[in-house]
Amino acid sequence: MAEKTLLITGFDPFGGEKINPSYEAVKLLPERVGKYNIVKLCVPTSFEKASDTVITKAEECFADVIICVGQAGGRKGITPEVIGINLRDARIPDNDGYMPKNQPVVENAPAAYFSTLPVDDMIEAVNRAGVPCFKSYSAGAFVCNDLMYSLLHRFVGTGKKIGFIHVPFLPEQAGYKHPSLTTEQIVTALTAAIEVI
């Protein structure tokens, strides 16, 4: 069987944080998981740059699967996203200082796309691996949703499996106020999820 390639991305820190758990975990993944060669990429938290950065890399490495990972501070577990919506509605500026309100990601394009990853199987596998994981029906309207929507729009009909996973804060970010998972738990979760794709 031909080798398959899975591109997995994390984001750089944003919103005043010093680290982003998404890339902290992604960079620790092994070179191979299940049937996939793993290609990793750090993506700028920028409406302007995020999707072009990932699309360029996905084309360059002939990715069969694209999983983007991002921080969702305050969430209690790993949350694979079900849907990306055609909306930019930021509450804070991105890393370029840009804060769009009520704009489409892509003009005259569908309202939303569903993840083409096996979300339910992934959730079951991650919970079985001992890491809390549940479904999310909203990736928000910031850069993570933008990236998810843009990739699903760009590659619609190609058969590529594409989706997004939000992860909680790391303990050093969360303090006493927020729930958190360790980098090791996030790595375990991502590995378990990839094994069922």
Q: Report the catalytic residues.
A: 81, 144, 166
Q: Which of residues 32-71 bind ligand PCA (CB under 6 A)?
A: 45, 70-71
Residue 70 or 77 having the CB closest to ligand PCA:
70
Rounded CA-CA distance 146/128 in Å is 30
Residues 6+ apart with CB under 8 A from 161: 64, 65, 66, 116, 117, 118, 197
Q: Please, what is the minimum distance in Å from the beta carbon of residue 13 to ligand PCA?
A: 8
Pick the piece of the chain touching ligand PCA (CB under 6 A) from 76-84, 115-123, 138-146, 168-176.
138-146
Q: Which residues of 107-118 are buried (b: 16+ CB within 10 A; e: fewer)?
A: eeeeeebebbbb
How far apart are alpha carbons 165 and 142 in whole angstroms? 14
- Residue 22 in contact with ligand PCA, rule: CB under 6 A: yes
- Tokens 């700028």: give the residue: 44
Region 141-170 residues binding ligand PCA, contact defined as CB under 6 A: 142-144
What region, left, alpha or beta, does residue 136 occupy, with left being phi > 0 and alpha being psi -120 to 50 degrees?
beta
Closest to ligand PCA by CB, 12 or 195: 12
Min dist CB 157 to ligand PCA, Å, is: 26
Residues that bind ligand PCA (CB under 6 A): 11, 14, 20, 22, 45, 70-72, 140, 142-144
